[in-house]
Amino acid sequence: MMVVVVENAPPRLRGRLAVWLVEVRAGVYVGQYSRRTRERIWAEVQAAIGDGNGVIAWTAQTDIGYAFDTCGRNRRMPVDLDGLPLVAFHPDETPL
């Protein structure tokens, strides 16, 4: 299974995702595809995300049972801590 979540995505990308996946909530898409198809869908998201951001999570043979990746401008970035994927929060770049 895989889940793709996009924020501030162009309408063309959202329509393209809806062709491949089921949109269960605004910007949240789920489906089950092979690794090759998942990578192709994610490549399209990365190419078309523009000023938005996205995250993909999928079932994987790891200790925690899943893997994930992000793209676009986002305060949350994946980091690896001794094989355990965690999420680091970067400070907001806008001054107060």
Which domains can be identified in the chain, with CATH numbers? 2-89 (3.30.70.240)
Instruction: Specify the amino acid at residue 45.
Output: V
Check residue 74 and give its pLDDT.
79
26, 37 contact by CB (below 8 A): no
The model carries a pTM of 0.85
10, 63 contact by CB (below 8 A): no
Q: Tell me how far the alpha carbon of residue 16 is from its chain's centroid.
A: 15
Whole-number mean pLDDT of the chain? Answer: 90
42, 36 contact by CB (below 8 A): no
Taking the C-alpha atoms of residue 94 and residue 96, their distance in angstroms, rounded to an integer, is 7
Say yes or no to pLDDT of 44 above 70.
yes
Taking the C-alpha atoms of residue 11 and residue 84, their distance in angstroms, rounded to an integer, is 34
More confident residue, 70 or 92: 70
pLDDT tens-digit map of 55-79:
999 999 988 899 999 998 877 778 8
Check residue 12 and give its pLDDT.
96
pLDDT tens-digit map of 6-18:
999 999 999 999 9
pLDDT tens-digit map of 16-35:
999 999 999 999 999 999 99
82, 41 contact by CB (below 8 A): no
